Amino acid sequence: MFILGSRQTKIPVLNHRSIWISILLTLLFFLISCATDSPQKKAATLRESQTKEKDSSKQVKMMNESILMRNLSLTSQRSATRDYRIGPEDLLEISVYEDEKLNKTVRVSSEGDISLPLLGVVKVEGLTAVQLEREIRDLLTKKLYQNPHVSVFVKEYRGQRISVIGAVEKPGVYDVIGQKTVLEGLALAGGLKEDAGQLLFLIRPSSRDEKNLEKARTSEERTPETLVIDLEQLLVKGNLSLNLPLKHGDVINIPVSGKVFVGGEVSRPGGFYLKGKRMTVSQAIAMAEGLKPKANASGTVIFRYGEGDEEEVLSVDVNAIHKGESKDIYLRENDIVIVPQSGAKAFLIELRNTMTGIFGFGVSLGTL
């Protein structure tokens, strides 16, 4: 008891039990705070993931711009008559300067043939107008004339039907005239959606077997052909060899990007699109809005399934990754990341809550 003037002031004295509990909680707070990542660091990780998410969206936008610009460029540079490959039901106008009797307007048969005076049946399907001019000139040179002048003009193009499905803005069936390419097909469908995957699958009906059509219908040759195109190579790196010409009946399929799944002690468990990009464990956890207080980050597990449902289990120490002590593992499509609960952290959180209820004050346990 101290006397200050004429007034007496009593200072409360804590009992030994309260003192030791306070000391214990202070030590726990210090040790746990030192051993874990700061909220600022987790926030920085989340911001980094958000930046990568924006970059991924920018790439899809850039791909769509590439579709439009390359489509316009190809349209302006290319003559449809020159590059177009003749097909069934096209109407051809053929002229021979040396003999007007050989001039003829003829429609290509369903088998891809035409019939010409003196020359008989000529196979024209798959040839350009220039190639057909050369073919007719060679045939006339052998039979009648020396170096004849031949002109071939595609007067009417057959209608072609192509389908575009999957992660595009306007999937559907499109009736087109003349030769079209993969880029033009994507442009017709309004470009890619934001969740578009990295690959394009071009599904093409099998070609006819002219020699034995009935046999071909029942053979493996009648099975559709599937061509795989890397969209990044075509749209970003400009590899125009992948810009294949389309044929009647072709189906362009853009599957949505694969997902990875994050569960357990994270704030927002669920599936997250890869969007054709590579994603690490820490980025996936950041996409799930970080760890919960009870998370055992060092005990994180990845479940990976291969062919035949073969399961591979990988252990990951996320804390070590954040500290730069361990390599951040890249995830694969359909990987499942599970962050378990820490028994010790759960106990400490419950202890904190209990102490708050008993003594009326709370003690922060850091980020655990």
Digitized pLDDT (tens) for each residue of the chain, 368 residues in all = 444 444 444 445 445 556 555 655 555 555 444 444 444 444 444 455 545 554 555 666 666 666 666 555 554 444 444 567 888 888 999 998 888 888 999 999 988 899 988 888 999 988 888 999 999 999 888 877 888 889 998 888 777 889 999 999 999 999 887 778 999 999 999 999 888 888 899 998 875 443 444 444 444 445 678 898 988 888 888 888 999 988 888 999 998 888 889 988 999 998 888 866 678 999 999 989 999 988 898 999 998 876 666 778 899 999 999 888 999 999 988 888 999 888 766 656 655 665 555 545 444 444 44
User: 282 in a domain, yes or no?
Assistant: yes
User: 20 in a domain, yes or no?
Assistant: no
156, 183, 208 - which closes a domain: 156
212 & 233 share domain: yes
Provide the 8-state DSSP code for 297: G
63 & 187 share domain: yes
64 & 201 share domain: yes
Task: List the CATH number of the domain containing 111.
Answer: 3.30.1950.10
Q: What is the pLDDT of residue 355?
A: 53
144 & 173 share domain: no
Q: What is the pLDDT of residue 253?
A: 93
167 & 249 share domain: yes
C-alpha pair distances (Å), 347 with each of 120, 171, 365: 92, 54, 12
Q: What is the pLDDT of residue 155?
A: 85
Reported for 105-114, long-range contacts at CB under 8 A and 24+ positions apart, including other chains, are 105/155, 108/158, 111/208, 111/210, 112/86, 112/87, 112/88, 112/210
149 & 173 share domain: no
121, 139, 156 - which closes a domain: 156
Domain that holds residue 265: 258-341
134 & 118 share domain: yes
Nearest-angstrom CA–CA distance, 27 and 25: 5
B/e letters for 123-137, b = 16+ CB within 10 Å, e = fewer, are ebbebbbeebbebbb
User: 104 in a domain, yes or no?
Assistant: yes
Task: List the CATH number of the domain containing 278.
Answer: 3.10.560.10
Q: What is the pLDDT of residue 77?
A: 44
User: 54 in a domain, yes or no?
Assistant: no
- Which pTM value belongs to this model? 0.53
156, 177, 196 - which closes a domain: 156
238 & 327 share domain: no
From edge to edge, which strands make up the β-sheet containing 336-339?
Answer: 270-273, 259-264, 336-339, 300-305, 311-316
Q: What is the pLDDT of residue 13?
A: 47
163 & 218 share domain: yes
Q: Are strands 259-264 and 336-339 parallel, antiparallel or unpaired?
A: parallel
- Residue 339's nearest CA partner among 267, 273, 272 is 267
Split into its structural domains, the chain has a count of: 3
Provide the 8-state DSSP code for 316: E
209 & 69 share domain: yes
Q: What is the pLDDT of residue 107?
A: 92
SS3 95: strand
User: 353 in a domain, yes or no?
Assistant: no
Nearest-angstrom CA–CA distance, 33 and 46: 20
